[in-house]
A and B are shown apart, each in its own frame.
Chain A
Amino acid sequence: MYAATGVILGVLILAFFRVQVIQSEGWVLRASSNRVRILPIPAPRGTIYDRNGVIIADNVPGYSVTILPGPIDSVRATLNRMSEHMELSEEHRERIIARLRRFGREVIIDSDADFAVVSAIEERRADFPGVYIDMRPRRRYHLGAAAGHLTGYVGEVTAEELATPTFPDSLYEAGMIVGKIGIERQYESTLQGRQGVRWVEFDARGRIVGDFAGVERVAPVEGEDLHLNLDFGLQQWIHQIFPDSMSGAVVALDPEDGGVLAMYSAPGYDPNLFTGGIDVDTWAGLNGDEAKPLFDRAVLGLYAPASTWKLASAGIALDAGVVTPDEVMPDPCEGTWFWGNRFWGCWDRSGHGFNTLAEAIGNSCDVYFYQLGLRLGLDQLLDRSTEIGFSTQCGVDLPQESRGIFPRGPEYWQEVFGYRPTEGEALNLAIGQGPNSQTPLKMAQFYVALAGDGSAPAPSIARDAPVVEGWELNLAPNHIASLQEGLRMVTAPGGTAHFGTALQYWDVIGKTGTGQNPLSVRGLAEDHAWFAGMAGLPGGAPEIVVVAIVEYGESGGQVAAPIVAKAADYYLRSKRGMPIDTIQTYREHIMTGPVPPWYRERFPQAFEARAQAQGGGD
């Protein structure tokens, strides 16, 4: 009996010796993996600043609710209980369960939980095993809907994104918040930072006990800040002055370096809606809206450039040396022009007579440009336009940009229309018609060349954007002067855009355009209204180039031009620290009061002309 007792209990002691002494290391390890889990600490994204150091996007503290994987039944029961305290649809619950199964790691239930939800969950912690509350930086966009397309927004990285090289496994994992579109996506790797890691102790029911004392937490590394060329105030101002309920885009560039001062697309959306996950109804609303608020018209919208493109013809012709600024075309404009067995009409049937280049621009004389197109010849026109990049992208630092539509060569007609082009195609292209669609950004880049010395650097939103090659027109200073003179005639007294662009302190010059669109050619809607211009001190070099298009806006001079003038006025005033006035253009002044004294000084010729006209009547 003693022996039996000894053997039986001896076996037990040996078994304990094996587990507690010989194998103990393995069990100790298992004990920690039992109760210690590695949880990420989200890194705050870098702050986005405008050119003056004003914050465009930053982070505020937020709360996220996360659930750990566990037995499916108990997870489902927990989620059901949670749905009593927060909005958690049946569908959402199933999605969470599916993700837990798929990834086998924690899943964020709500990355931006209300404080009420957080406190309700904290109070009943025992009811929610495996659920924990985390502080998580929440993205905030100070420009809101004024720059939704430009800033873009952030969201939880998807499984599809994780499979792409943009999100390498070494830096990204499920549950992380990443840039989805816009600048947030373009500079994702700069803004992201590195998430930290903490070791957290859990009990058997998945309740957090606290940080595990055994291992030091790895602090997250904040993302790098990003400085943009954008002007916060200007962007907001453009949002404010853009006609309500109209669609379109405005692009403002710094002619000095091609920096994007403002880039606006209407209608917009508030990127703050996407922070913490956009709710289904809001998303459906944005996505289904016929005005396409999610569509960035400034870089994706393609529009027939119409008369604004005449400056391109002119620039290319001067560059090629087929015209000089002072000469006139052999045939005067008589409203129409006969060439190649048919009549080619000018928009103004009363005709413009003999025009110099500047006059032809000022009058937007089609007959002049038909002849210019012929001189240039189709091949030369296509080659040079292709070099300038009218059939490519600008290379702006955004994840998406449309390439312009413009024939790269004569084979285009063969491929698209099935016939060989005649020289007549050059006539159409020269006045901005034919197969030619450009983004507002592209037109702005072109006008940058006219504002300076003929060179057009690629537009860049970030200050330190990677350098993308621009292009250059070979123009002598007198060529530039002549083109600008043409633009000045448009906004001078008597020009179509004068009243809406006359400003107290600045000279605004530019070109209107009336872009036909599928609805307007059938008489179902108005044409798109273009104005491409530049502004600066009277007699000085232009300091800002602005292009505006208002869809179905009808009149470039009356609808698009004032936007350009008001944007330029805001920018030039704020650049010099001058107070901003909401009443800026001459037209706004005379609609609200008497003729302002500055107008008489700035445009005396307007009164001389009137006096002459009156005198002549006497």
Chain B
Amino acid sequence: MAAMLDRWTLDRPLVLGILALSTFGIAMIYSAGQVHVPNAVTAEAWIRQSRWLVIALVAFSTISRISVRWIEWAALPAYIVSVVLLALTLVIGEGRGTAAGVKSWISIGGFGFQPAEIAKIATILWLAQLLSTRDTGLTSVRDLIMPGAVVGLPLGLVMLQPDLGTGMAFVGILFAMLYWAATPVWLLVLVASPVVGLFLASDTVIWSTYILIVIGCMILFLGSRLFLFESVALVLANFASATLARPLWDSLATYQRNRILVFLDPEVDPRGAGYQVIQSKVALGSGEFWGQGFTHGAQKRLDFLPEQHTDFIFSVVGEELGFVGTTLTILGFAYVLTRLVRLAGRAESPFAGLVLLGIFGAWLVHVFVNVGMTVGVVPITGIPLPFVSYGGTFLLMSWVAVAIAVRVAHERT
């Protein structure tokens, strides 16, 4: 492996950093299985995760040899296939494990995978290709329609499953890549304004103030740069989102609504929807500064932590390794994420930079949403922590993304 990396001069810091995170993940999965009343499935999860890591590394070394031309060529077919698969998921998909109510899995001959994981990579590649072939920058709302549609299609399909967490990853991909494609920040903010308005619409006074500020900004500072049509469209979009807020809320499944309500105040339902957040915070808090020691977490051992080897693995980190452990882990992710940005900055082709930023956007959302929910900063959505949470296909696809990242970063034109 080392010889191969040498020969290809792939970015070693990124790969080693991610390998370290993956190994750390296996250790934490092992610890998560060490409970008072052992259960064969969770106790041996770390062994299965280790096998998947080996498979992932094989996939990594294979894919990282593929020519960037091939990757570019495969982008559109991969995108089309993954969108078809996502659509298919809505028909023949099934729920699994931690998200039994969400139809996000497709199984073929006993082997199951989540099309959304493929769709994330395929969307990044196809959008990167689209944006890199543009001659001009994206300066108007009209310019954003095409990229928005490319991401919006899989995003919409994922939201129909409904998988809010993965949907947010697509939003992360879109915004990171648009930013990298030199879209002005004010434009991104304006595009995002109807979404922000959606959440503020719960209170009429707040929303009215907000829409006045948005319109004021458009007129005062941005008037010269916006077409009238776009301005009107944005304002209308804001009104539409505010109007839709209520029916949209009503259309949410009860558990989703509860998650949002509980996010605002977990104690409204400490034995029900608030249980996970509270137990997670209890575990984190009783970890204190230095933690209770690897494998020694009391709440974890006594089974109080929900989904402790998958979505809530970070609570185990917090309980056993303390504030020191959580900070170091977050810094580890910070290293990997900034490394991606640095590689993107050094990349010679726009395509490479866009792919790296797309991966950056997806992972940043994953890290923020997953880690944030364990500490109550973000509502609970079933979204795993890359490389650390237990989950074979997710680990594999994440490593495929790593392979593509280092491969495109290495390409010199």
Q: Is the CB of B302 within 8 A of A204?
A: yes
- Whole-angstrom CA separation of A16 from B328 in the bound complex: 12
Q: Is the CB of A20 within 8 A of B377?
A: no
Given contacts A34-B282, A207-B37, contact A9 B367 (CB under 8 A): yes
Given contacts A23-B285, A31-B283, contact A126 B357 (CB under 8 A): no
The reply on B330 being an interface residue by CB < 8 A is yes
Tally A-B pairs: CB < 8 A: 119
CB < 8 Å neighbour of B286 from A11, A21, A24: A24
Q: Is the CB of B271 within 8 A of A20?
A: no
Residues from chain A with Cβ under 8 Å of B289 in the complex:
20-21, 24
The reply on B371 being an interface residue by CB < 8 A is yes
The reply on B294 being an interface residue by CB < 8 A is no
Distance in angstroms from B77 CB to nearest chain A CB is: 30
Q: Is the CB of A19 within 8 A of B298?
A: no
Q: What is the interface size of chain B, counting residues whose CB is below 8 A from a CB of the partner? A: 46
The reply on B287 being an interface residue by CB < 8 A is yes
Main secondary structure of the interface of A (DSSP, over half): helix
- Whole-angstrom CA separation of A20 from B315 in the bound complex: 11
Q: Is the CB of A20 within 8 A of B303?
A: no
Distance in angstroms from A36 CB to nearest chain B CB is: 10
- Whole-angstrom CA separation of A382 from B132 in the bound complex: 122
Contact size range, A = 20 to 34
Residues from chain A with Cβ under 8 Å of B334 in the complex:
5-6, 9
Q: Is the CB of B302 within 8 A of A203?
A: yes
The reply on B368 being an interface residue by CB < 8 A is yes
- Whole-angstrom CA separation of A605 from B341 in the bound complex: 131
Given contacts A201-B302, A202-B302, contact A16 B281 (CB under 8 A): no
CB < 8 Å neighbour of A27 from B180, B281, B367: B281
Q: Is the CB of A31 within 8 A of B299?
A: yes
The reply on B167 being an interface residue by CB < 8 A is no
Q: Is the CB of A5 within 8 A of B288?
A: no
- Whole-angstrom CA separation of A26 from B179 in the bound complex: 42
Residues from chain A with Cβ under 8 Å of B285 in the complex:
19-20, 23-24, 26-28, 30-31
Residues from chain A with Cβ under 8 Å of B322 in the complex:
20
Q: Is the CB of A20 within 8 A of B302?
A: no
The reply on B338 being an interface residue by CB < 8 A is yes
Residues from chain A with Cβ under 8 Å of B158 in the complex:
none
Residues from chain A with Cβ under 8 Å of B36 in the complex:
203, 207, 209
- Whole-angstrom CA separation of A201 from B301 in the bound complex: 11
Q: Is the CB of B326 within 8 A of A203?
A: no
Residues from chain A with Cβ under 8 Å of B377 in the complex:
11-12, 15
Q: Is the CB of A27 within 8 A of B341?
A: no
Residues from chain B with Cβ under 8 Å of A23 in the complex:
285
Q: Mark A190-233, 1 if CB is under 8 A from B, else 0.
A: 00000000000111110101000000000000000000000000
Q: Is the CB of B368 within 8 A of A8?
A: yes
- Whole-angstrom CA separation of A380 from B119 in the bound complex: 112
- Whole-angstrom CA separation of A13 from B324 in the bound complex: 10
Q: A203-B37, A204-B304 are in contact. List 13 more A-B contacts (CB 8 A).
A: A1-B341, A4-B364, A9-B368, A12-B368, A13-B330, A20-B284, A27-B281, A27-B282, A30-B282, A31-B285, A31-B286, A35-B298, A71-B271
Q: List chain B positions with a Cβ less than 8 A from chain A.
A: 35-37, 176, 179-180, 271, 279, 281-289, 298-299, 301-304, 318, 322-323, 326-327, 330-331, 333-334, 337-338, 341, 344, 357, 360, 364, 367-368, 371-372, 375-377
Of the A-B pairs whose beta carbons lie under 8 Å apart in the complex, a sample of 21, sorted by A's number, is: A4-B364, A5-B337, A9-B333, A9-B337, A13-B327, A19-B284, A19-B375, A20-B284, A20-B318, A23-B285, A24-B285, A27-B284, A28-B285, A28-B288, A30-B285, A31-B283, A31-B299, A35-B299, A203-B37, A203-B302, A207-B36
